Amino acid sequence: MSVLDRGLQYGDGLFETVAILDGEPRLWERHMARLRAGVERLALPPPPEAELHEEACRLSAGSGRAVLKILYTRGVGGRGFRPPEPARAMRILMRFEAPEYPAAWWSQGVDVRFCDLRLGAQPALAGLKHLNRLEQVLARAEWTDPAIAEGLLLDNNGAVIEGTQSNLFAVIGDRLLTPVLDEAGVAGVMRAWILEWAALFGLNWEEARLTRSDVLEARELFLTNSLIGVWPVRSLAGRRLPERGIARELIACLRAARLCLIPD
């Protein structure tokens, strides 16, 4: 790839992280829908979806469990922030080995911390899986203890937004809640799937502003992304969570449907 690619020069692009299971990319249509939404907001050229699908299938074939990462950038430009017109988008597809998380992280739940870094508010980029990820890099560098699976990030107003690589759900009272992502955060493909699942099964769900004490007092918390599916939270900042019923139900559904990399 060219060093002049605006993906490198400015992080001017998007990415998708797709679970490969049984030789096939999973939740493909949802990943493409999110990519399209991001492309529209950043005014990138429309992605060649047929070619992308063909390339993704070719890269996935033969892999039992793996990860497909797709980068989609505004391509090569001159010096200067102004987007070239017309831009020639660049796509890069990479296959990685499946991450090896302990099976207990699904069966027993994970231990989670709060990060010190606060996410900045930027409505123009909120929800997008774009390539400006220094906040996540700094947040993930806050801890090295391998027993801590994830760190939660708050924004400057004290709202809990997400994990460094996952979305957050909380069961509070009889409602399933997940943070609003209109000022910060990535609107995960698995998050969207779970909200539709909740609607389908008649769960009372809502996007909400959740504070640190809201989530500390939740009956149940779980983390989600396209690879892991769902991790129940066993403890947050040292405090044990009493329940993990909805997470267990989701894990059973996702495992049966083979939508992500939950161990058998």
Could you give the residue numbers annotated as active site?
A: 17, 129, 162
Scanning residues 5 to 34, which ones bind a second copy (CB under 8 A)? Answer: 5-12, 15, 17
d(CA 96, CA 94): 7
Are 84 and 78 within 8 A, CB to CB? yes
Residues 213-232 vs a second copy: string with x where CB under 8 A?
--------------------
DSSP-assigned letter for residue 56: H
Closer CB to a second copy, residue 70 or residue 198?
A: 70
d(CA 44, CA 26): 24
Specify the DSSP element, H or E, that contains 37: helix 28-42
When binding is defined by CB under 8 A, the residue of 60, 165, 167, 224 that contacts a second copy is 165
The identity of residue 221, as a single letter, is L
Closer CB to a second copy, residue 48 or residue 120?
A: 120
| 86 interacts with a second copy by CB under 8 A | no
d(CA 160, CA 119): 9
Closer CB to a second copy, residue 17 or residue 203?
A: 17
CA 258 to chain centre: 18
| 164 interacts with a second copy by CB under 8 A | yes
Specify the DSSP element, H or E, that contains 240: strand 239-240
Minimum distance, C-beta of residue 171 to a second copy, in the bound complex (Å): 27
The identity of residue 226, as a single letter, is S
d(CA 20, CA 93): 13
| 42 interacts with a second copy by CB under 8 A | yes
Scanning residues 49 to 78, which ones bind a second copy (CB under 8 A)? Answer: 67, 69, 71, 74, 78
| 1 interacts with a second copy by CB under 8 A | yes
Question: What is the token pair recorded at 248?
Answer: 């267990």
Backbone angles phi, psi at 203, to 5 degrees: -75, 145
DSSP-assigned letter for residue 226: T
Scanning residues 182 to 201, which ones bind a second copy (CB under 8 A)? Answer: 184
Q: Where are the alpha helices (DSSP H) in 63-188?
A: 104-107, 134-140
Scanning residues 101 to 140, which ones bind a second copy (CB under 8 A)? Answer: 117-122, 124-125, 130-140
When binding is defined by CB under 8 A, the residue of 22, 88, 103, 156 that contacts a second copy is 156
d(CA 187, CA 162): 10
| 81 interacts with a second copy by CB under 8 A | yes
Closer CB to a second copy, residue 24 or residue 142?
A: 142
- Number of amino acids touching a second copy (CB under 8 A): 53
Minimum distance, C-beta of residue 4 to a second copy, in the bound complex (Å): 8
| Contact residues: a second copy, CB under 8 A | 1, 3-12, 15, 17, 42-43, 67, 69, 71, 74, 78-83, 92, 94, 96, 99, 117-122, 124-125, 130-141, 156, 164-165, 184
